[in-house]
Each structure stands twice: as C-alpha cells, then as structure tokens.
Amino acid sequence: MIAGARRARTAAESSASIANDIVGGHVRALMGDHLFDVRSTDQHTVKPWFLGKLDFSPPVKDTAAIGFPLIGGRLDYIAGRPVAALVYQRRQHTINVFVWPEAQPAPPAAESLRGFQIQHWTRDQMAFWAVSDLNAAELSEFVTALQQ
C-alpha cells in the first residue's frame, strides 16, 4: 500500500472513531443530568468559564438572532482529550458543538450516525464537531452561522 493511501485510510478511521465519540458524548449529556457545567445564554459568561479549565479558549458565538440560542457549556472528553462542549438549542432540539485545538486543517464533512446529524470543520486551528437530532438542513443552517 502506498503511503498516501495508508494516511487517507488512517485519517478516515480516526474521523469515524471521533464521530462515534461525538455521538456518545451527545447522548450521555442528554441521558444524564450533565448537559451544562455553566448554564447561560450570554457568550460573555460561557467563554470565560472555560478559562483555567482547558489549555485553550473556545470561540463562543451568539446565534440566538437566527433561532439557535446558546444555552450553556461544559467540559467533555473526546478522542482522549478534554474539550469544550458548547450547548445550543433549536426549539426542543439540543445541539452540542465540541471544540478543541487542531493544527491539521480538514475539509468540512457531514454525516448521519445512529440517527444524529454531525458536521465537522476546522477553522483558525480549531476543530468543530456539531451534533444534533435536528434534520440535516437545519443543522447546516446553524453551522453556516457559526462559520461566519
């Protein structure tokens, strides 16, 4: 097997593993009583809450004006690392956005896994993974707003 194909296969396997971790983190947060460590609709409350708890500062965007209000955040653990989990809402649907530093850029990707929609992208050396039971079109609308 040539090295490029091996790297592509390894990256795809890693992405699939992370997607499984993302869905698992989302489901655990919904099942238990641990959706929030900090509950607030104010990005200026949520963002500073992560200071000293993570070795990075996650970008926190207010998307309430388009119908996706921020409702809080928490610490989570994905792919062997602590991450920020930003919690948004659309009607009765919860959207978790997992964020951590990522030096390697990755093309945007969308998939459905175990009944959940997942979108992944990198920006400014940060990885973003959004997951929800929203339909794909609404999750895409939300992700587009976060990317602006």
Q: With 80 as the cut, is the pLDDT of residue 6 above it?
A: no
Q: CA 6 → CA 1, 10, 12, 16, 79, distances in Å?
A: 7, 6, 10, 15, 20
Q: Which helix (H) or strand (E) holds 29?
A: helix 3-31
Separation of alpha carbons 80 and 91, rounded Å = 32
Q: Which helix (H) or strand (E) holds 132?
A: strand 126-132
> Which architecture does CATH list for 3-147?
2-Layer Sandwich (3.30)
Mean pLDDT on 41-46 = 97
Give the per-residue pLDDT at 10.
Answer: 46
Minimum mean pLDDT range among 11-15, 20-24, 44-48, 71-75: 11-15
What percentage of the chain has pLDDT greater than the value 90? Answer: 82
Separation of alpha carbons 132 and 126, rounded Å = 20
Give the per-residue pLDDT at 32.
Answer: 77
Span 78-113, pLDDT tens digits: 989 999 999 999 999 999 999 999 998 888 999 999
Reference 107, options 43, 38, 39, 11; nearest CA is 11
Q: With 80 as the cut, is the pLDDT of residue 2 above it?
A: no
Separation of alpha carbons 46 and 57, rounded Å = 11
Q: State the Rg of the chain over Cα.
A: 15
Mean pLDDT on 105-129 = 95
Give the per-residue pLDDT at 1.
Answer: 46
What percentage of the chain has pLDDT greater than the value 70? Answer: 91
Q: With 80 as the cut, is the pLDDT of residue 4 above it?
A: no
Give the per-residue pLDDT at 13.
Answer: 52
Give the per-residue pLDDT at 16.
Answer: 85
